[in-house]
Amino acid sequence: MPQRTVLNHDDVQRALVRIAHQILEQNRGSKDLLLLGIPSRGVPLAKRLASLIAGFEASNGTHVDAAEIAGALDVTMYRDDLRRGPARVSQPTHIPVGGIDGKTVVLVDDVLFSGRTVRAALDALSDTGRPRAVQLAVLVDRGHRELPIRADYVGKNLPSARSERIGVELTELDGGDRVVITDGGRA
């Protein structure tokens, strides 16, 4: 299947820097901020954003421990498509010390498509605690929403055909950073 790269390593890094700045600006800093990645690729993205935020805050004289503001939220058992395919392997939820109550939680994922994964994340989050606010950051928004969900922070809007597959590769899982579009598949 034909494949084309739409974001390379530098593009991904620039998008993450921009998203980190936007999160800090929108929330007036990092106080009570928590980034929860949706497995699998949302987790390393959340960790990278937390590291960038910690670096930006350090340059302003504010100490932020990236490990204390980044975690993971497993949505496997909250998905509405469990009966449609092979069994999914659950990944552990990791909420940093202090929990989510009263925090601004930024859910982080690689691609926003139908919105169903985000809906599952909202359900999982409500079983975990009560955040003050919930925001969404995605590396790629490809459109085709089936639910009324919109990302607060987007690295790249990438309109695509339903028949195309958007693939996100990250150094932590795939050995390099890039976003590709493959014709003929379905994400």
Q: Contact, 166 vs 111, CB < 8 A?
A: yes
pLDDT digits (tens, 9 = 90+) for 23-48: 999 999 999 999 999 999 999 999 99
For 78-109, the pLDDT digits (tens) are 988 766 666 566 678 999 988 999 999 999 99
Instruction: Tell me which architecture the domain covering 11-82+91-160 has in CATH.
Output: 3-Layer(aba) Sandwich (3.40)
Cα separation, 50 vs 56, in Å, equals 10
Consecutive H or E run containing 25: helix 9-26
Q: Distance between CA atoms of 13 and 98, rounded to whole angstroms?
A: 29
Q: What is the pLDDT of residue 185?
A: 46
Four-residue CA torsion sign, 181, 14, 71, 78:
negative
Query: Residue 158 has which token pair?
Result: 């990438």
Phi-psi region of 73 (alpha: psi -120 to 50; beta: other; left: phi over 0): beta
Alpha helices in 60-182 (DSSP H): 66-69, 116-128, 171-174
- CA–CA dist 136, 149 (Å, integer): 9
Average pLDDT over residues 108-125: 96
| Predicted model pTM | 0.93
The model's pLDDT over 59-69, given as tens digits with 9 standing for 90+, comes to: 999 999 999 99
Q: Long-range CB contacts (< 8 A, 24+ apart) of 53-56?
A: 53/20, 53/23, 53/24, 54/30, 56/20, 56/21, 56/24
Res. 187: pLDDT tops 60: no
Cα dihedral 54, 41, 135, 79 sign:
negative
Cα 34 to Cα 152: distance, rounded to the nearest angstrom: 15
Buried b (16+ CB within 10 A) or exposed e, 71-85: bbbbbeebbeeeeee
- Going from N- to C-terminal start, the domains of the chain cover 11-82+91-160
Task: Please tell me the distance from the alpha carbon of residue 51 to that of residue 78, in angstroms, as a whole number.
Answer: 29
